[in-house]
């Protein structure tokens, strides 16, 4: 079965004139609608309008044009079913062998700052998804079926198969393209449902509804596979990396790899932890991450200075780590970074001289990530048989929200250290204790089952790195349940502490701080990270 008739109706018109011309050169009759038909006709191609094909004019401002038996009958009739083909003959319905459709740009429309509901509604495609589903359902058996194309990148593949021995797209290609079409319509419907759900959550609840639901009853997530990975967290686990194309600039998934080996599962996970931490700071910052925890964070007047200070926190853990900067890496910084063993380097830009230096480190994965303010709409954690879904922990600390609860108040310099420590603690696995001073981390305790153990580990790490904790600031991601944790950080040399508060023993902890002459600030916000 060769392709004799193609129906073309596309929103993305890139490459469509060339593809249609190649189809016509192979004897394929062209059906089309609206702007696509006009474009093809202006290119000198013979095109039959769908309205002429169906005998029914477009109505309702174009809302109804392809929803017709002469369209869907031609798409859905099984080529290997004599009764189906006899019905087409009796009803004078030509078979449609190739459908080339992509949908109204709903996502681009709702991404516009000036988009209103009426604009979004008018960009919900009805006829397009209906045709895609009909064609994809009838992609057929190995003997023949409908070919459905949604992506201009697939045009050459269809033509190549038409020029092959069978003179038609192979069953393997038709099956792949049908799968792609169903994934496309599922993502499209999911985006519409998510948009309407977001509107519903902002509307006042009807009186009959006691509380407005802020989460959709059915959550649809569509991701595009970017890479099949060598393995997952461990070599015996298969893995892949998927990209949420609806999220804008600023997120790691939009990275451009400049050089280096293929990223692994753990590389991507750790790189995300480093990038999210570094981009949360407004001034020049370096973050070094190992096993998803910051092991060194520092501000600097230059990227080089920030790196040198961050590296001092924990040189042992920095070995084989991920290094991220929130501004361009220059030659001097690249030379310094290149002296240590690292897996991944991340920055929004690199000077040409820096890239020349890094080129000598062929195994180092160098990533460039566009700066931006995009955030994930929600975080997901997989549990047995389900998902836990939450909004991301993106609350930024403001000194105006801090409450001094001790007799001694922090100095201006201490408040700067506390704010820095508090922001770092937001990215450290719980239980988290972070010692800071002079715009850098001094000791980090992460992921322990008890907060006091995290405090002890942070102190030990500082001692091992040769860093003094005298006069340091300490952040705790959650409240101190007992005074013993505060006693440990005080004995290590801390003179000010920032924590959420909220324990039934807050009074005991505050009294301990007053006893030791320590300034303590409550934030009222917890930053657990499991």
- Residues known to be catalytic: 137, 291
- Per the CB < 8 A criterion, the answer to whether 107 and 191 are in contact is yes
For residue 205, what are the contacts with CB-CB under 8 A and spacing of at least 6?
211, 212
Taken in order 209, 212, 217, 222, the sign of the CA dihedral is positive
Q: What is the DSSP string of 83-116?
A: HHHHHHHHTT-----EEEEE---HHHHHHSTT--
Centroid of chain to Cα 402: 32
Q: How far apart are the first and last CA of the chain?
A: 57
390 SS3 class: strand
Using CA atoms, how far apart are residues 105 and 62, in angstroms rounded to an integer?
16
Q: Tokens 């992921």 identify what position?
A: 447
Q: CA nearest 275: which of 376, 355, 364, 345?
A: 345
Structure tokens given for 491: 């004995």
Q: Tokens 């451009």 identify what position?
A: 256
161 SS3 class: helix
Taken in order 156, 162, 164, 170, the sign of the CA dihedral is positive
**Phi, then psi, of 413 in degrees rounded to 5:** -65, -40
Between the CA of residue 237 and those of 234, 264, 321, what are the distances in Å? 6, 12, 22
Q: In this structure, what is the dihedral angle of CA atoms 246, 271, 302, 475, given to the nearest 10 degrees?
A: 100
Side-chain-facing half-sphere of 297: CA atoms under 13 Å: 31
344 SS3 class: strand
- Per the CB < 8 A criterion, the answer to whether 32 and 47 are in contact is yes
- Helix extents (H) in 112-170: 117-122, 127-137, 155-162
Return the DSSP state at 154: G
Q: Tokens 């050089």 identify what position?
A: 259
The size of the chain, in residues, is 530
- Please work out, in degrees rounded to the nearest 5, the angle formed at the alpha carbon of residue 411 by the alpha carbons of 408 and 414: 105
């Amino acid at each position: 079965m060769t392709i004799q008739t193609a129906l073309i109706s596309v929103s993305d018109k890139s490459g469509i004139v060339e593809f249609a011309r190649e189809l016509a050169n192979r004897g394929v009759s062209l059906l089309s609608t609206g702007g696509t038909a006009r474009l093809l006709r202006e290119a000198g191609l013979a095109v039959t309008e769908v309205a002429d094909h169906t005998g029914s004019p477009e109505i309702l401002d174009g809302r109804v044009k392809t929803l017709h038996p002469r369209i869907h009958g031609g798409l859905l009739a099984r080529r290997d079913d004599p009764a189906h083909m006899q019905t087409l003959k009796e009803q004078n319905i030509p078979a449609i062998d190739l459908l080339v459709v992509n949908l109204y740009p709903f996502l681009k429309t709702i991404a516009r700052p000036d988009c209103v509901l009426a604009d979004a509604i008018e960009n919900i495609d009805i006829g397009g998804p209906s045709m895609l589903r009909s064609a994809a359902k009838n992609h057929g058996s190995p003997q023949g079926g409908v070919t459905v194309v949604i992506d201009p990148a697939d045009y050459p593949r269809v033509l190549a198969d038409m020029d092959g021995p069978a003179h038609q797209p192979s069953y393997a290609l038709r099956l792949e393209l049908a799968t792609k079409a169903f994934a496309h319509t599922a993502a499209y419907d999911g985006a519409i449902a998510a948009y309407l759900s977001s509107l519903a959550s902002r509307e006042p609840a009807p009186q009959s509804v006691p509380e407005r639901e802020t989460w959709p009853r059915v959550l649809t997530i569509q991701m595009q596979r970017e890479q099949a990975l060598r393995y997952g967290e461990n070599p015996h686990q298969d893995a892949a990396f998927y990209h949420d194309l609806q999220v804008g600039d600023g997120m790691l998934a939009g990275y451009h790899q400049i050089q280096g080996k293929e990223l692994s599962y753990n590389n991507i996970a750790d790189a995300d932890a480093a990038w999210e931490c570094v981009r949360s700071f407004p001034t020049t910052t370096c973050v070094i991450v190992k096993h998803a925890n910051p092991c060194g964070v520092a501000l600097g007047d230059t990227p080089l200075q920030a790196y040198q200070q961050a590296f001092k926190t924990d040189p042992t853990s920095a070995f084989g780590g991920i290094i991220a900067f929130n501004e361009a890496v220059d030659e001097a910084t690249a030379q310094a970074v290149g002296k240590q063993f690292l897996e991944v380097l991340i920055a929004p830009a690199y000077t040409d001289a820096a890239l020349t230096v890094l080129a000598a480190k062929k195994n180092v994965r160098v990533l460039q990530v566009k700066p931006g303010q995009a955030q994930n709409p929600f975080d997901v954690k997989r549990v047995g048989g389900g998902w836990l879904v939450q909004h991301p922990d993106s609350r930024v600390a403001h000194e105006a929200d801090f409450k001094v609860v001790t007799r001694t108040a922090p100095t201006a310099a201490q408040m700067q250290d506390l704010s820095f420590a508090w922001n770092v603690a937001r990215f450290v696995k719980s239980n988290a204790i972070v010692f800071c001073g002079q715009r850098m981390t001094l000791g980090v305790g992460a992921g322990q089952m008890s907060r006091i153990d995290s405090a002890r580990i942070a102190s030990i790490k500082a001692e091992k790195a040769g860093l003094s904790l005298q006069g340091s600031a300490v952040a705790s991601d959650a409240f101190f349940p007992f005074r013993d944790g505060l006693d440990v950080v005080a004995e290590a040399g801390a003179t000010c502490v920032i924590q959420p508060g909220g324990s039934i023993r807050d009074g005991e902890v505050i009294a301990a701080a007053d006893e030791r002459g320590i300034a303590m600030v409550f934030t009222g916000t917890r930053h657990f990270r499991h």
